Structure 1
Amino acid sequence: ITGAFESTLAKIRERVSAFLALPLKTISTDQLKAELNRIGSL
């Protein structure tokens, strides 16, 4: 169980880090959609 939790937590951290790295003030709607799809597949 601990291994599964740690794996899930690592995946969440990876996705949150990728999301927070996005230039949200300058990114277009289409670019944002594409990036969110990419992040969802990480």
Structure 2
Amino acid sequence: MAYWLFKSEPSAWSWDEQVAKGDAGEEWDGVRNYQARNYMRQMKV
């Protein structure tokens, strides 16, 4: 089983914003790194 840790700059997406979205979450767009994009495609939600 793989585990993933995502990081974002607080000015781009704060912890308060994440908590406000709750279980619904939010689409993560703007990923320009191809390897990161491929890892995100492998994930199961």
Query: RCO (CA 8 Å, sep 6+): is it higher in 1 or 2?
Result: 1
Q: Which TM-score applies when normalising by structure 1?
A: 0.31
Q: TM-score, normalised by structure 2?
A: 0.29
In terms of fraction of residues, the more helix-rich structure is 1
